Amino acid sequence: MKSKLAVVALGGNALLRGDQIGTIDEQEENTTKTLENLVFLLKEGYNLVITHGNGPQVGNILMRNDAGEQLYNIAQMPVDICVADSQGGIGYMIERMLRNVLSRHSISRNVICIVTQVVVDINDPAFNDPQKRIGKIYTKSEADDLASRKGWIFREEVKKEGGYRRVVPSPVPVDVMNHSIIRDLAMQGNIVIAAGGGGVPVYFDEKHDVRPAEVVIDKDLASSLLASLIGADEFYILTDVPYIYINYRKPDQEIKEFLNYNDALKYLNEGQFAKGSMAPKIVACLDFIKKGGKKSVITEAFRLADKKYGSKITMEYED
CB proximity list for 223: less than 8 A, separation 6 or greater: 7, 9, 51, 195, 235, 237, 284
Dihedral angle at the C-alpha atoms of 14, 15, 20, 25, nearest 10 degrees? 130
CA atoms of 15 and 23, how far apart (whole Å): 11
Same domain, 154 and 176: no
What letter represents residue 237's amino acid?
Answer: I
Q: Are 11 and 240 in contact (CB under 8 A)?
A: yes
Whether 186 shows a pLDDT value over 70: the answer reads yes
Residue 287 falls within a domain, yes or no?
Answer: yes
Q: What share of the chain is helix, strand, coil (3-state, %, to 5)?
A: 40, 25, 35
Same domain, 151 and 282: no
Q: What is the CATH number of the domain that holds 236?
A: 3.40.1160.10
Same domain, 282 and 136: no
Same domain, 272 and 162: no
| Better pLDDT: 17 or 281 | 281
Query: How many CA atoms within 13 Å lie on the side-chain side of 86?
Result: 30
Same domain, 82 and 142: no
pLDDT at position 4 is 96
- Does the CA dihedral 97-240-182-87 come out positive or negative? negative
What letter represents residue 43's amino acid?
Answer: K
Same domain, 230 and 201: yes
Residue 203 falls within a domain, yes or no?
Answer: yes
Residue 149 falls within a domain, yes or no?
Answer: yes
Q: Active site includes 43?
A: no
Same domain, 17 and 164: no
Q: pLDDT, tens digit, for every residue of 233-250?
A: 999 999 989 999 999 999
- Which region among 3-7, 65-69, 288-292, 293-297 has the lowest average model confidence (pLDDT)? 65-69
Whether 159 shows a pLDDT value over 70: the answer reads no
Whether 207 shows a pLDDT value over 90: the answer reads yes
Whether 18 shows a pLDDT value over 80: the answer reads no
Determine the average pLDDT of the residues in 222-236. 98
Whether 84 shows a pLDDT value over 80: the answer reads yes
Determine the average pLDDT of the residues in 32-54. 96
The residue among 114, 144, 168 that closes a domain is 168
Q: Active site includes 162?
A: no
Residue 319 falls within a domain, yes or no?
Answer: no
The residue among 168, 189, 224 that closes a domain is 168
Average pLDDT in the chain: 94
Q: Active site includes 189?
A: no
pLDDT at position 319 is 52
Residue 257 falls within a domain, yes or no?
Answer: yes
Overall domain count for the chain: 2
pLDDT at position 318 is 65
Same domain, 146 and 108: no
CB proximity list for 243: less than 8 A, separation 6 or greater: 255, 256, 257, 298, 299, 309, 310, 311
CA atoms of 256 and 311, how far apart (whole Å): 6
Q: Active site includes 219?
A: yes
Same domain, 37 and 135: no
Whether 305 shows a pLDDT value over 80: the answer reads yes
Q: Which of 219, 295, 310, 312 does the annotation list as catalytic? A: 219
The residue range of the domain holding 157 is: 130-168
Q: Which of 30, 91, 281, 293 does the annotation list as catalytic? A: 281
Confidence of residue 277 (pLDDT cuts 50, 70, 90): confident
Helices within the chain (DSSP H only): 12-15, 24-36, 39-43, 55-72, 79-104, 140-150, 179-187, 219-229, 261-269, 278-290
Q: Active site includes 281?
A: yes
Q: Are 227 and 129 in contact (CB under 8 A)?
A: no
Q: Which of 4, 22, 55, 132 does the annotation list as catalytic? A: 132
pLDDT at position 1 is 62
Same domain, 162 and 82: no
The model carries a pTM of 0.94
For the chain, percent of residues with pLDDT exceeding 90 = 82
Q: Are 264 and 276 in contact (CB under 8 A)?
A: no
Same domain, 220 and 291: yes
Determine the average pLDDT of the residues in 101-111. 98
| Better pLDDT: 162 or 246 | 246
Residue 82 falls within a domain, yes or no?
Answer: yes
Same domain, 59 and 22: yes
Residue 289 falls within a domain, yes or no?
Answer: yes
CA atoms of 194 and 180, how far apart (whole Å): 12
Residue 293 falls within a domain, yes or no?
Answer: yes
Distances (CA, A) of 284 to 225, 226, 298: 8, 11, 11
